Amino acid sequence: MTTLVLGGTGKTGRRIADRLSSLGLPVRVGSRSATPAFDWQDRGTWQAALDGVTAAYISYYPDLALPGAYDDIKAFTDLADRNGVRKLVLLSGRGEPEARASERTLAESGAEWTVLRCSWFMQNFSEDFLLGSVLDGVIALPAADVPEPFLDVEDIVDVAVAALTQEGHAGKLYEMTGPRLLTFADVAKELSAIIGREITFVRVTPEEYVNGAVEHGAPREAAEALGHLFTDILDGRNASITDGVREALGRPARDFADFARANAHIWKR
C-alpha cells in the first residue's frame, strides 16, 4: 500500500510524506534526488517511481498554470492508471483556468480522485520564496491592491492525508482558502505587529520583479513564470472565501494571525 508523494521535498509534499510515515504507512518520495528518482521533465523516470504504488499525491513543478503542465499530468495519470494506482490526489491552483484541464484528467481516470484547489500559501512568507523579503523588511511584488484568502499549508496537508488514507473523499473537489481576505499590505502590517519591526509592501512592475529576482540568483525562466502568475492570478479573481477545509475536515481553516505567531521566531533571527 505504498503512496507516491510527488514534490516530496516541497512545502506540501515533505509534510505529507512525514505525516504518512508517522502513521506507519509506506511512502515513496517523488523527487529528482530520491531513489528511484522522479523528474517531471524526464518521463523515463516515471515508471520506476510508480512500481508497486497504490496511491499518489500529485504536486506539479513549477505550476499547473504554465505551458506543458496539462500534457505532463495527462501522461502521468494515464501511466498511473495502467499501473493500477487506486487513489490520486491533485494539488491545484485556485483561479487558474489552465489547471482545470488537469483536474478533468483526474476525473476521467479510473482512479478514486480528489482535487485540492488551493489559494496562496501562508508559508510563502516563511519558507524560501518570500522569506528573504520579510527578513529584509520589504515585500516587493507585482501584485495589485486586491485581497487574497491566504491558506495554511498545514490545512492542505491534513486534507491530502485524509484523502489518501480515508474513505469519503473520492470524487471531491475541495476549493480551499483561509478564513480572511488580506492584501499584501495587510500581511505586512500583521507581520510588523507580531515580529516587532516594520515590514512594508511595495508594488513593483513585472519587469522590475523579474530583474530583481534574477539579480538575486533566480533563473530568468523561473522568475518570468512567477511574474506571469502574479499579474495573471492576483488580479482580484480570488478575492473570496470558500469553505473547502471545513467541508473536508469538519473544522475551520487556520487564520493568518495564528500562522504568523507560530512562525515569528523564523523572522526574528
Alpha carbon distances (Å) from 151 to 1, 235, 242: 30, 17, 11
Q: How many residues does the chain have?
A: 269
Q: Is 23 exposed, middle or buried (0-12, 13-18, 19+ CB in 10 A)?
A: exposed
**Per-residue pLDDT, 156:** 98
What tens digit of pLDDT does each residue of 102-158 get?
999 999 999 999 999 999 999 999 998 899 999 999 999 998 889 999 999 999 999
CA distance 73 to 59: 10
pLDDT higher than threshold 80 for residue 232 = no
**Per-residue pLDDT, 235:** 85
The confidence band for 212, taking pLDDT boundaries of 50, 70 and 90, is confident
Question: Which residues have C-beta within 8 Å of that of residue 140, sequence separation ≥ 6?
Answer: 133, 201, 202, 203, 204, 208, 209, 212
Among 6, 16, 88, 14, residue whose Cα is nearest residue 49: 6
The confidence band for 213, taking pLDDT boundaries of 50, 70 and 90, is confident
Which residue's C-alpha cell is 473523499?
169
**Per-residue pLDDT, 87:** 98
Find the mean pLDDT for residues 33-45.
97
Among 58, 111, 59, 46, residue whose Cα is nearest residue 84: 111
Among 128, 118, 62, residue whose Cα is nearest residue 92: 118
Query: What is the set of domains in the chain, with CATH numbers?
Result: 2-119+152-177+240-253 (3.40.50.720)
pLDDT higher than threshold 90 for residue 1 = no
Whole-model pTM?
A: 0.95
What tens digit of pLDDT does each residue of 49-106 get?
999 999 999 999 888 988 899 999 999 999 999 999 999 999 999 988 889 999 999 9
**Per-residue pLDDT, 121:** 96
182: helix, strand or coil: strand
What tens digit of pLDDT does each residue of 179-205 get?
999 999 999 999 999 999 999 999 999
Q: Which three cell numbers stand for residue 195?
A: 515580529
Per the DSSP assignment, residues forming a β-bridge with 116 are: 91, 174
Among 25, 22, 30, 35, residue whose Cα is nearest residue 2: 25
Q: Which three cell numbers stand for residue 37?
A: 528518482
Q: Which three cell numbers stand for residue 103?
A: 483536474
pLDDT higher than threshold 80 for residue 231 = no
The confidence band for 221, taking pLDDT boundaries of 50, 70 and 90, is confident
**Per-residue pLDDT, 28:** 98
pLDDT higher than threshold 90 for residue 18 = yes
**Per-residue pLDDT, 247:** 98
Task: State phi, psi for 171 to the nearest 5 degrees.
Answer: 75, 15
